[in-house]
Amino acid sequence: MEKVVSVWRDARIKYFKNPKQGQSGTNRDYIISLAQGEYIKHLFDDDFLYPHSVEMLLAMLRGTPFKLAFHSRDVVNSDGQIIGRPRFRIEDGNGLIKKLQRKSTQLLERLLPFRHSTYSQKDFLTVSPEYFYANMIAQLANHVGEPTNIMFHSETFRGMADPYSVNGVPMRFLSDVALYATFVNAGHGIIGTSKVGSAYRKHDQQTSNESSPRFSAGLFEWEVNARHACDLGYLSLDQLSGLRERLLALYQQYVQAFPELQVFIDLPPVTPGMLSLDEPTRLAVRYAHELIDQRIAERRLKPKS
């Protein structure tokens, strides 16, 4: 990578090597600690940006009070061929989301005009806490997308405690979802668009693949988010129970390959009057992350065939 970066003779482009390679989140945290700009924009090395990505994101952030912006993305395979075209839209058939969309439009109409951009306010939609919890957490779906998809205000981010955690529980897999929750819960808001600005690459070596030692975290960390949403009042106990049933089916499917999932299978039902994100759940997450770290270390030491 250093050789690739050295091709550009531009003092603004700098290469840094993470001194704590191999540890979860350290690449991200190290480079953020070095960032000096007003905004922070990720680009993971297996993804890529389209030409207007930065312009589009800046149009949303500089023209409104929102502190985190995102655009839609294509999904590509290891050869760069498009295999999916997910688009962020706020719409459904029961009227609730249309109501939220109207509120988003009304809010945007009261904001300052977009500056330094040819983009129109009609291109953008806001993600309210209600939408975030009802249509992302409750559906186990990240509609905002991966970190390559976003840009956020640096000073706002640095003023947050544990932005990649859920009520003090660190996220190893769903750190992006935790970040979005932190922004919406802090009242900073998220703004996005269905317009496309990047491509997310799917391949066999990434953590979302079932062969990844981190794969199980992509299941139980949804439960952490859902339990916290219940504690905040965005999900009912019935909704949480239904979501738990969906996750339990997945836990049972993968528990042989990822034995740490058994502790989540064994968690007692949530009852009225008690915290959903309780101490047993926190201990289960800690135990599961320890097993994942052990598996990662063992795989790193295993001789390559």
In the predicted structure, residue 245 carries a pLDDT above the cut 60: yes
pLDDT greater at residue 194 or residue 183: 183
**Most trustworthy range by pLDDT among 56-70, 116-130, 274-288:** 274-288
- Which residues are within 8 A (CB) of 81 and not within 5 positions of it... i.e. 6 or more apart? none
Q: What is the model's pLDDT at position 50?
A: 92
pLDDT at residue 92, as a whole number = 45
Contact 4, 16 (CB under 8 A): no
118 falls in which pLDDT band (50, 70, 90)? low
Helix (H, G, I), strand (E, B) or coil at 74: strand
Q: How far apart are CA 25 and CA 34, in angstroms?
A: 15
Please state, rounded to an integer, the average pLDDT across all residues of the chain: 86
Q: Which of 62, 39, 60, 65 is nearest to 188 (CA)?
A: 65
- What's the rounded Cα separation, in Å, for the pair 158 and 73? 26
The total number of residues shown for the chain amounts to 305
| pTM, rounded to two decimals | 0.86
Model confidence at 249: pLDDT above 90 = yes
Instruction: Supply the pLDDT for residue 8.
Output: 85
Q: Are 138 and 238 in contact (CB under 8 A)?
A: no
Percent of the chain with pLDDT over 90: 58
Going by their DSSP bridges, the two strands 169-170 and 82-84 should be labelled as unpaired
172/127 Cα distance (integer angstroms):
23
Measured distance between the N- and C-terminal CA atoms of the chain, rounded to whole angstroms: 24
Give the per-residue pLDDT at 301: 80
Q: How confident is the model at residue 3 (pLDDT cuts 50, 70, 90)?
A: confident
Residue 25 has pLDDT above 90, yes or no: no
Give residue limits of the domains in the chain.
37-201, 217-300
C-alpha to C-alpha distance for 126 and 102, rounded to whole angstroms? 10
Render pLDDT for 200-218 as a digit per residue (tens, 0 to 9). Answer: 998 765 556 788 999 999 9
Q: Which residues fall within 8 angstroms of residue 62, CB to CB, at 6 or more apart?
A: 114, 115, 116, 117
Nearest CA among 220, 221, 233 for reference residue 133: 233
pLDDT at 116: 37
Question: Distances from the Cα of 163 to the Cαs of 82, 146, 182, 287, in angstroms?
Answer: 32, 15, 6, 21
Structure confidence at residue 87 (pLDDT):
83
Side-chain half-sphere CA neighbours of 41 within 13 A: 19
